[in-house]
Amino acid sequence: MITLVAFRWVPPFAQGLVRDLRVRWALEEAGLPYRERLLALGEQASPEHRALQPFGQIPVFEEDGFVLFESGAIVLHIAEKTEALMPHDAEGRAHATAWVFAALNSIEPYVWNLAMLDAFHAGEEWAKLRKPAQTEMTLARLAKLSERLGERDYLEDRFTAGDLMMTTVLRILRNSDVLQHFPNLEAYRERCETRPSFKKALADQMAPFAQYAPAA
């Protein structure tokens, strides 16, 4: 049985963005059942957890003694089990894998650097000074992605693990106006988020957050 290690609660600004969502979505696409092992905030620093995840992060994937960390690696591991996320042909598999890496390496750093200015440093003078340049860099990078996507529904000729990963990265901007500059990217994100597997994964991530919310 697969066990997914995730948080039982995170602050509201992070809810729906924690990276176990990627793994939950991949498992739903693959039709693989799993159980949760939820950590309270702070437990990720325990020696027991760091034996599984050396950086004290989540998610962690466990199956019959096999342990894997890093959301991208976990998603690719799951994708190898099903053609729902990974095409059968070698070229298709290589392209899907490339888009997973592109989401994590070519898009996410720009998106997170911008989002974190508002999430953690809103009102700080240095962040106000930094934001215009960071916004410009993020828009420039997203423009390249928008150009590559064009009018296609997905990054390649069908939904793959690459689209799953890219959507979770673009979600980071869901409460900003950045994607309004790129209607095709916004439509792409919304299209992927209408998949029943995504809706189930998101609901399952959010459920513990409501259950374990601190008392007001």
Q: What's residue 123's pLDDT?
A: 82
- Give the sheet arrangement for strand 66-69, strand by strand: 34-39, 2-7, 60-63, 66-69
Domain-embedded: residue 68: yes
* Helical axes 108-121 vs 161-170, angle rounded to 10°: 30
Q: Which of 162, 27, 158, 21 is nearest to 103 (CA)?
A: 162
Residue whose tokens read 């089990």: 81
Model pTM score: 0.95
CATH number at residue 45: 3.40.30.10
pLDDT tens string 171-212 = 999 888 999 999 999 999 999 999 999 999 999 999 999 999
Q: Which domain holds residue 181?
A: 90-195
Q: What's the pLDDT score for residue 119?
A: 80
Rounded to whole angstroms, how far apart are CA atoms 165 and 170?
9
pLDDT at res. 118: 84
Looking at every residue in the chain, the average pLDDT score rounds to 96
Residues 107, 190: one domain? yes
Percent of residues, the chain, with pLDDT higher than 90: 90
| Model pLDDT, residue 121 | 86
